[in-house]
Chains A and B, each alone.
Chain A
Amino acid sequence: MSTLREQIQDVIDNEPVALFMKGTPQLVMCGNSDRALRALLDAGAPIAAVDILPDPRIRQELSELSGWPTIPQVYVKGELIGGADITEELHASGELRRKLDGTLGVDREQKVTTVALRLS
């Protein structure tokens, strides 16, 4: 049985692109999460989304892990890229797509999944 923090770390480490957000890609609950999601979709990123709203401990553990205080948080290949502002800025400059091309390849499949953490 893995702890919540281990599950979060597992998503960060193993998903090509992880998006910790408020809500889900189908029902976004926050403007900033929406901005990050749109930039990632637009840049052709595969996305594994984690909704942090079901339990306040998710956000707490995540921010302790990353040292990043706000939501959303975007990770590419385990590396924190930033929140909505940086993700948008990197997308606007073309750097986000270049980074994705470089780390995941240009032929990457773009699928959007939602990852549910086990809360107990």
Chain B
Amino acid sequence: MASETIRALLERAFPEAAEVDVVDRTGTGDHFHVTVVSRRFGELPLIDQHRLVNAALAAPLGDGTIHELRITTRGAA
């Protein structure tokens, strides 16, 4: 799966995001590191921030196209 597809899913789920970044860590289209900076994360516990990201990527996580996912989230300044 291309990084751009992942990015599109995240941008759809977080239209308010100040930053959405997707890195294909291995160049093989299945190990990604995604970063989302959004004011929506505000005071949410990390676990809930990551749950939102996981939910946005539920389809590719569920069918195995994402083999490994690293997540970095921050509340926007």
Interface residues of A, Cβ cutoff 8 Å to B: 30-32, 67-70, 80-86, 89-90
Contacts of A85 in B (CB 8 A): 50, 70-72
**Contact residues on B (Cβ < 8 Å of other chain), bracket:** 10 to 19
CA distance A31 to B70 in the complex (A): 11
Instruction: Report yes or no: A90 in contact with B51, Cβ–Cβ below 8 A.
Output: no
Chain A contact residues, majority secondary structure: mixed
The stretch that binds A, out of B6-14, B15-23, B61-69, is: B61-69
Cβ-based interface call for B46 (8 A): yes
Candidate in A32, A81, A82, A84 with the most chain B CB atoms within 10 angstroms: A82
Known pairs A69-B62, A85-B71, A85-B72; A90 contacts B46 (CB<8 A): yes
Contacts of B62 in A (CB 8 A): 69
Contacts A70-B68, A83-B50 known; 17 new A-B pairs at CB < 8 A: A31-B68, A67-B51, A68-B51, A68-B54, A69-B58, A69-B61, A69-B62, A70-B69, A80-B47, A81-B47, A82-B46, A83-B71, A84-B70, A85-B72, A86-B47, A86-B50, A89-B46
| Chain B: minimal CB distance from A45 (Å) | 17
